Structures are given as structure tokens and as C-alpha cells.
A = this chain, B = another copy of it.
């Protein structure tokens, strides 16, 4: 840790900072410059708040040197993590595609979705059984019945299943039916949920919150990793900015940034990222061109009649076209899809 004292800080103030650092277990190096004294704290302590020092008298600013996450950092596993599910590898050379409706609505609907998804060559079907909806009056999902229907449809078409867990009490149910457990954007900092997922032995797809920094996303991954579950897949799905033309601003640059900061696989969700069907194709291409290990998108046999998220849901023929374009882009950068 580095504490920069203000110009003209008094000796007593400097001593007071040193005392506190020592009290916390740091070894302190003092360096006196022309205008500023800088104190370097070295030691085993890394869970302090820089802000706690910044409010001390005479302190100008304080910087954390060591990253607050460890298991999620690139250095921890420089070769990169590949999440394996049967013969599907997430984080390898091949770009993986997950697709399906926003919500499971009926046996027929999810069966048709599985057919569309499998035929176009995707590996994983997605679908929500428990829906986080901002209005209490909106459809809240089919629950376990929806999971059962999706599992059956997936099995018939040789697909894996990813579905959202909204709460730690739902984990056992999801483990029964789903191959990958998704943590939605609103739950990225539901720490009780994250902690419990650390004890699970199935992969977790962790979506970035709409106002979460990249560092916060990695700290949330650290919760799961520190519990012993190493199969965490990150997903960029749009952040909230002043621009309202798109539902969110799909932060494509987070993809190469994450690929550099962490060893975990990184996916992109252009459906939530843009909120509008017509922008899903170009942004799916952009995400893959930027280095995404996979995509997750919404598709429905009749999006105009989808119960939720219809506006951002692809029509079957658009999805097939997207898969073709994604293969062309993957090929152009030396990957498969």
C-alpha cells in the first residue's frame, strides 16, 4: 500500500499514519521527497480500505498495490481456464453459443426452441424458469415445471442447459435440471448466493451487473472461486450509461480487458447488451471479433408473442444467420465456432 502525504504534512501526522500502518501489521518504508512524503506499507494485510487512510489528517491519497482478487487474476492460471461439459469446452479455441427464449413458456415452445438452437449448431439452450421482473405484476416464470420441460427438450436435441438461479434456496433445484447455473446481472453482488455457489460442483455463468466495474465483477467471481468452485464463466451484458437509444451500452471492450486480467472464459450477451433484435447480429459479430469465448442470445419461434423480452429476441432465421456470420468472424481471427 502507498500513502502519499499532503505537501507540508506535519511530522506528527506522518507518525500517526505510520503508527496505524504498523498496528495493522504492515512494515513501513518512508520516502521523503521534495514536496511529498510517501509511505509504503508492505505486509500480509490486503483487506483494508484506502479510503480509511485518505480521511486521516495530512494524507493526500492512498493506493492499493495488490489486486483485491487473487484466484480470479490472470497470473493465478496464465494458461487460461477451460470449462468442460462433456465434449463442450468453454474457453478453448471454439466459440460456444448458448441460445433460447427469455422464459420457458410451455412444452411446445421450449421444444421448438431446442430444435431451432440445435439445428443452427449451438451447444447450450438457455431459458428462465424464475424471472427477476422489475414489476410485481409481470410474469414471474414457470418454476420447476419450466426446468423439467427445458431439460427434456435439451436432452432430445443433445443440448446442455443453462438457467438462472435467483436465490441460494433455489440452488438444489437448479442442480437437478441445469448443467450451468446462471447468476443474473441483478444478483452479481448477492454475496450469500455467490458464497453458496462456491460449494457447488457445476459451472457458474456470472453476468456483469449493469453498474458493476470490471474489478467488482472479478471480486464476485472470487467469492465463487474462493469456495472451491473453479468453473466460473464471465459474461458482459451491457452497462447503464446516459445513452438510452439502446437498452444498455454493450461494453464490448470489457471482453479484451477481461481476457487480460483473468484466466476465466468470457462471453458476450448482445441481446441484453442492446435490447433490440436488429442490433443483436452486428454486436454478436463485434463481440466475437473482440475475442469473446462465447455468446448467449435470446431466440424464440415467434418473438412477437414471447411473454418476456420479445423486443430483443431473434427470429429463428435471424439466429441461423447469426450463427453463420459468427463462424465467418471466428474463422477470420483463427478460431472455430
Contacts and interface: CB of A to CB of B under 8 A. Distances in A.
Nearest to A134: B219
A65 B56 contact: no
A13 interface: no
A93 interface: no
A169 B166 CA distance: 13
Interface string A117-141: 0000000000000001111111010
Contacts of A277: 55
B245 A242 contact: no
Contacts of A241: 239, 241-242, 249, 251
A84 to B, nearest CB: 25
Contact of A169 (B169, B195, B249): B169
Nearest to A132: B191
Interface residues of A, number: 111
Contact of A240 (B190, B242, B256): B242
A12 interface: no
A33 B38 contact: no
B195 A186 contact: no
Nearest to A279: B256
Contact of A273 (B29, B253, B275): B253
Interface stretch (A145-153, A174-182, A288-296): A288-296
Contact of A34 (B42, B273, B331): B42
Interface string A3-36: 0100110000000000010000000010101111
Contact of A47 (B20, B56, B135): B135
B214 A65 contact: no
Contacts of A252: 250, 252-253, 283, 286
A87 interface: no
Contacts of A66: 35-36
A54 B311 CA distance: 8
Q: How many copies does the complex hold?
A: 4
A108 interface: no
A287 interface: yes
Given A133-B191, A311-B51, A56 B138 contact: no
Contacts of A211: 209-211, 240, 242
Nearest to A243: B213
Contact of A213 (B55, B242, B287): B242
A276 interface: yes
B167 A192 contact: yes
A304 to B, nearest CB: 7
Interface in A161-203: 166-169, 186-187, 189-192, 194-195
14 contacts: A8-B75, A33-B65, A34-B43, A36-B65, A51-B310, A61-B63, A132-B189, A135-B219, A209-B211, A213-B244, A214-B243, A241-B251, A249-B249, A250-B253
Q: Which 10 A-B pairs have the closest CB atoms?
A: A211-B211, A51-B311, A289-B289, A285-B289, A286-B286, A328-B332, A256-B282, A332-B332, A286-B290, A33-B42
